[in-house]
Amino acid sequence: MTKFFRLVAFINLIFSHLAVGQSTKPTTVSGQFVNAPFSQFVQTIEARTNYHFYYSPADVDSLRINAEATNVPLATLLNTALAGTPLRYAIDTQNRVFITTDQAIRTELPIGFFDRDGAADTTTIDYGAARTTARLTLETKLFEIGSRSLAGRPGNATLAGRIKSTTTGEPAVGVTVLIEKPRIGAVTDQYGFYSITLPRGRHELKIRSLGLRDTKRQILLFGDGKLDMEMDEEVVPLKEVIVGAQKDANVSSTQMGAERLDTKTIKQVPTVLGEADLIRVVLTLPGVKSVGEGTVGFNVRGGSAGQNLILFNDAVIYNPSHLFGFFSAFNPDIIKSVELYKSGIPSRYGGRLSSVLDVSTRDGNKKKLTGAGGIGLLTGRLTLEGPLITDKTSILVGVRSTYSDWLLKQLPGSYANSRASFYDVNLNLTHEANDRNSFYLSAYLSHDQFKLNSDSLYGYSNQVAALKWKHVFSNKLYGVFTGTYSRYQYAVSSDKRPAEAFRFGFNIQQSGLKADFNYFPNTRHTVDFGIGSTRYDLNPGSLQPTGSTSRIRSDVVPTEQGLESAVYVGDKFDVSPRLSVNVGLRYSLFMNFGPGQVYTYTPGLPRAESTILDTLNYSSGSLVKTDHGPEYRLALRYAITDAFSVKASYNRMRQYLHLISNAVAVSPLDIYKLSDTYMRPQVGDQFSLGLYQNLRANTIELSAEGYYRTLQNQLDYRGGATLLLNHHLETDVVRAEGVAYGVELMIRKMTGKLNGWLSYTYARSLLRTTGETGSDVVNGGNFYPSSYDKPHDVTLVGNYKINRRLSISFNVTYSTGRPITLPLAKYTLAGAERVYYSERNQYRIPDYFRTDLSMNIEGNHKVRKLAHSSWTLGIYNITGRRNAYSVYFNSVGQAIKGYQLSIFGQPIPTLTYNFKF
């Protein structure tokens, strides 16, 4: 065999020399070229010599040659002609000239390619070089799309396909696919799907994404067709914070009031107790606030925590917290992307007034089995993923739990007998049946249980599942059909004293079906439309005795049922290269149906148990109350320059589900109430205006957004209101209207050794009661601050990469203290001592300030090793400031004394070990 290879090489060498020898070997070239197209330059050289050029016309279509030569070597002329361009050349022994953009073609085998015996040397393989070679081959290969019979026809054709990660096989989200002339682009969705309509003919597709290596494809577009692509991960020496997938989306997109986060960002922000926390990172964004430390509920642009729609793979999460709110419900190792919409909310979303937090998880590695996890002082987590059928079916399983009882036992006094625990489990299955059909199954289960300095045991859980079928009808149309199930329940029980043993429980369950479609009619329009329906089943509260000796009386509030349906359509179209418009309409319908009871009250008197006139009984399935109305969406973007744009938006939202709570923060004892005869649907209108500027090649973003919101049919509560086990809740609530307005400023640096963002928010949130009687009026009918009105908020998040293995992250936050109603004096009336209170929310608790610091130490970066690991050391509240969570008061003799409750009054050190294999 060795002799055979030597013979072939020898014959090839002889024929090469014969071919060269039979021709007149040109040694020099001459010519004068003034602003000559490259094709004319080539024709002139080929006509005067025996050289022959090979190149891609797309690489040289705009190149003009200005050069003069008299009897000089061709290499000398090419050096002059191609100076200052990305083009390179190579000339072989047969006078073939190769022009490329990436690197010069090697025309000879390297020295030592054959050993002494003539066999190929395979002792060393450069896998990175092999992958680069494969990528370059794909980038220079010409892909013919459509039927050749359509060649020469004018008009447009649509190219579609999916983009995946080369490493994991998962969809690549937010990848930009574009051509430069004319400038036409598209962005992949959460399934990695793109559709782009282009003029027929030759094009170079440029594919770009942060975190992935930019690539390109050469296409010859005859007609509609498909082109799937894979992108390599980009290995960079500096670890970057990635907040959006498109480098210029801050300026070019019509979307405003939206933020996108990924796993790298979430894991770099220092948090309490060392666990990477999605909600904590969301709270660092402008316009997003929390009412106190140690809570997971958040408030967006003057709205309550119950006005946020939290989606987990399109299924609703009602309580996104663990362990008293110190941890969020989302495992950071399985998250793919997080999108927060504060304004300009797309028409496909509905059901909440203030915001949408859309969390998507990864599909799982379709190439090989991998895993990741971490061990901290209080929690441990493990995630495994891999293919069931390579490149077609994948599975991902994530488990997280806590072992926090040891910490509680270190606390003094009765807290040593306390206990607290939680766990959550995630399961994702993905199957690609063929090019047109994909199936996705996701499930989530969480459970919390705790007992603190009492004999009452608290527990709550989330159960969530979603099944999706994505079908591609054509290059211009695809649909996603989704079924979801969500259940949230909690219980409080006590059996320490058998005579008073009880169990109180609440649960809400919803199941839904929807169909969402995306249609791409042409390069200027992107249309999305759909229909969906959700059924609600509520158990508002039940109290039951436990044990045969308990004297607790059973009390069950009647169940509630409701059906919310909606249809929507939206169209994003480009009026001109500078002006883009996004319009949409969503129409929602809500039906409250029996079985149930509705009380009627004496006209002109406050609703109270004593003024009940009659009771209307509704049988199962009978209609109790219907509400419906339009929800408008409008967004405009005008690009003044390529790096500076102005945006405006308006949206109306309707909410038929009410969060009933007498606590400022999200609590396990909160209940929900469906809209009915007395609880009117909440309606919110928001107007927004923003300025956006990118600097230094889109590496620095500046933004300023202002907004104004009006809120109708808000709920406030009478003094001493009873919310649990209340059979006529309308007697303890007060209808109110709200106004919220503010300005959000942000500067963000996305790359480099030092990166992060600085934001400032000025925001007001005010309420005014609109009750039907004088007893319903609060603060004389004037506006007063809501419980989450915090005018000033400043946040600084930074990351500094010292070297490849060591980085430092820090977080500094300041905000105005939240409002509070204070007892001002005592007085005696009719022989009874009473307390005189200030106007509602007239005063404030002390301002909030906190600084956190963490250090990430990575192991070595060897490619081939059993596992990659890192250590995270952090200090939460490094200054030890005693920030007030709340202020409460006790009567001591004739005086009223105030006390401040602080959750963390000293620095909290953390240590976490992370691994990945």
What pLDDT, on a 0 to 100 scale, did the predictor assign at position 415? 58
Supply the mean pLDDT for the chain: 84
Contact 250, 694 (CB under 8 A): yes
Of 136, 273, 281, 287, nearest in space to 216 by CA: 136
Q: Which two tokens stand for residue 15?
A: 């024929």
Contacts with 322 (C-beta within 8 Å, 6 or more apart), sequence order: 328, 329, 402, 422, 424, 446, 448
Q: Element (H or E) spanning 190, and its range?
A: none
Residue range(s) occupied by CATH 2.40.170.20 in the chain: 258-916
452-471 residue pLDDT tens: 767 788 899 999 999 999 99
Contact 633, 583 (CB under 8 A): yes
For residue 555, how many C-alpha atoms fall within 13 Å in the half-sphere facing its CB?
Answer: 12
Sort strands 201-208 and 176-179 into parallel, antiparallel or unpaired: antiparallel
CATH architecture type of domain 258-916: Beta Barrel (2.40)
What pLDDT, on a 0 to 100 scale, did the predictor assign at position 656? 97
Helix (H, G, I), strand (E, B) or coil at 253: coil
What pLDDT, on a 0 to 100 scale, did the predictor assign at position 235? 53
Residue with tokens 């249309």: 527
Report d(CA 74, CA 95) in Å as an integer: 10
Full 3-state SS string of 262-314: CHHHHHHCCCHHHCCCHHHHHCCCCCEECCCCCCCCCEECCCCHHHEEEEECC
Task: Report the first-to-last Cα separation within the chain, whole angstroms.
Answer: 42
Of 483, 486, 482, nearest in space to 445 by CA: 486
Q: Which residues pair with 130 in a beta bridge?
A: none
Report d(CA 465, CA 443) in Å as an integer: 4
Report d(CA 584, CA 579) in Å as an integer: 17
Report d(CA 463, CA 442) in Å as an integer: 11
Residue with tokens 């409008």: 634
Q: Which two tokens stand for residue 346?
A: 């797309």
Report d(CA 868, CA 859) in Å as an integer: 7
Report d(CA 396, CA 785) in Å as an integer: 46
Residue range(s) occupied by CATH 3.55.50.30 in the chain: 2-100
Counting beta carbons within 10 angstroms of the beta carbon of residue 759, is it exposed (0 to 12), middle (13 to 18) or buried (19 or more)?
buried
Q: Which two tokens stand for residue 366?
A: 């379709």
CA 502 to chain CA centroid, Å, is 41
Report d(CA 299, CA 373) in Å as an integer: 31
Helix (H, G, I), strand (E, B) or coil at 460: strand
Contact 58, 217 (CB under 8 A): no
Below-50 pLDDT ranges, the chain: 1-25, 111-130, 236-245
CATH architecture type of domain 2-100: 3-Layer(bab) Sandwich (3.55)
Q: Which two tokens stand for residue 785?
A: 């601050």
What pLDDT, on a 0 to 100 scale, did the predictor assign at position 765? 95
Residue 860 phi/psi, 5-degree rounding, is: -70, 160
484-522 burial by CB neighbour count: b if 16+ within 10 A, else e? bbbbbbbbbbbeeeeebbbbbbbbbebbbebebbbbbee
Full 3-state SS string of 781-846: HCCEECCCCCCEEEEEEEEEECCCCEEEEEEEEEECCCEECCEEEEEEECCEEEEEECCCCCEECC
Of 678, 674, 662, nearest in space to 724 by CA: 662
Residue 780 phi/psi, 5-degree rounding, is: 65, 20
What pLDDT, on a 0 to 100 scale, did the predictor assign at position 557? 93
Report d(CA 917, CA 373) in Å as an integer: 9
CATH architecture type of domain 131-235: Sandwich (2.60)
What pLDDT, on a 0 to 100 scale, did the predictor assign at position 110? 53
Contact 568, 530 (CB under 8 A): yes
Residue range(s) occupied by CATH 2.60.40.4130 in the chain: 131-235
Report d(CA 887, CA 107) in Å as an integer: 80
